[in-house]
Amino acid sequence: MSKAASELILNPDGSIYHCNIRPEHLADLVITVGDPDRVREVSKYFDHIEFKSQKREIVTHTGTLNGKRMTVISTGMGTDNIDIVFSELDALANIDLSTGEIKSEFRKLSFVRMGTSGALHKENPVDSYVLSTYGLGFDGLLHFYRDSEKYRSLEIEKAFLKHSNWDSKKAMPYAVKGSDRLFDKLNSELTGAGITATAIGFYGPQGRYLRLIPDPENINEILAEFSFGDLKITNFEMETSAIYGLSAMLGHEALSINCIIANRAQGEFSKDSHKSVDLMIQYALEKLTK
């Protein structure tokens, strides 16, 4: 069954509505960043850039590095934007835009998020890198899709609900595993690893006080004290759980590498986060193009 024009929305030039790109502009390896300005900080290392586009906060560059074709795209902040970008990128890969029909041959994409994050333990200092073994989401996005439980790590969810005495008024947490293959490519003595918690906001949902009091006030302690076997929650950010969840449900693979720019346990912030993120980008690109 073809998709109605109100569901699969295209621009006049045939590009998909929000991302503003056509299928030929999308590489099989997709690097996602939150900050639109970070797209050029990644693509400046490409040997060649073949395509550029921008619509709102979504900036896209496609090019090659060491013979490897890749797309880098900004998503903006939050899992709501991930829902838009990842749904549209999958449509570019697996729906015929001219007919609205799902293609008979599946095209698998590999997503690597290069992000920034706050650490919950002193063992993950500022300016270090963390690979996300799992995404633990508090945003509720996956619950809007049928059969998401088939792709979730239900035992981790159950253990976290018990540990945290989670408030039933909030969206139920969900956990999804990242790609083992991409983890192996990016892992080294320079990287830490652990569960990445994905918050639905930056202030109250991450336990920050300004004028409003967070609920619970001790969310960071609750997260830091959780363990499941040899796994613990290492860091907090705003996209990974949705990236892992949608990628798994759509048949793609995904992994997040985050530069730790704040250590919540130590109360520290990176003295030069721009340099640290740039070094992480260089590290990840080298690993991905080996």
Whether 48 and 1 share a structural domain? yes
User: Are residues 255 and 116 in contact, defined by beta-carbon separation less than 8 angstroms?
Assistant: no
Predicted local distance difference test score (pLDDT) of residue 222:
96
Domain span holding position 163:
114-290
Whether 129 and 265 share a structural domain? yes
Tokens describing residue 282: 């260089």
Q: Cα(163)–Cα(27) distance, rounded to whole angstroms? A: 41
Is the pLDDT at 257 greater than 90? The verdict is: yes
Whether 135 and 57 share a structural domain? no
Note the pTM of the prediction, 2 decimals: 0.96
Whether 101 and 161 share a structural domain? no
Q: Which residues contact 163 (CB under 8 A, 6 or more apart)?
A: 222, 225, 226
User: Are residues 152 and 136 in contact, defined by beta-carbon separation less than 8 angstroms?
Assistant: no
Question: CA 244 from chain center: how many Å?
Answer: 7
User: Are residues 154 and 279 in contact, defined by beta-carbon separation less than 8 angstroms?
Assistant: no
Whether 40 and 139 share a structural domain? no
The pLDDT-based confidence of 63 (bands split at 50, 70, 90) is very high
pLDDT tens digits for range 13-47: 999 999 999 999 999 999 999 999 999 999 999 99
Whether 145 and 203 share a structural domain? yes
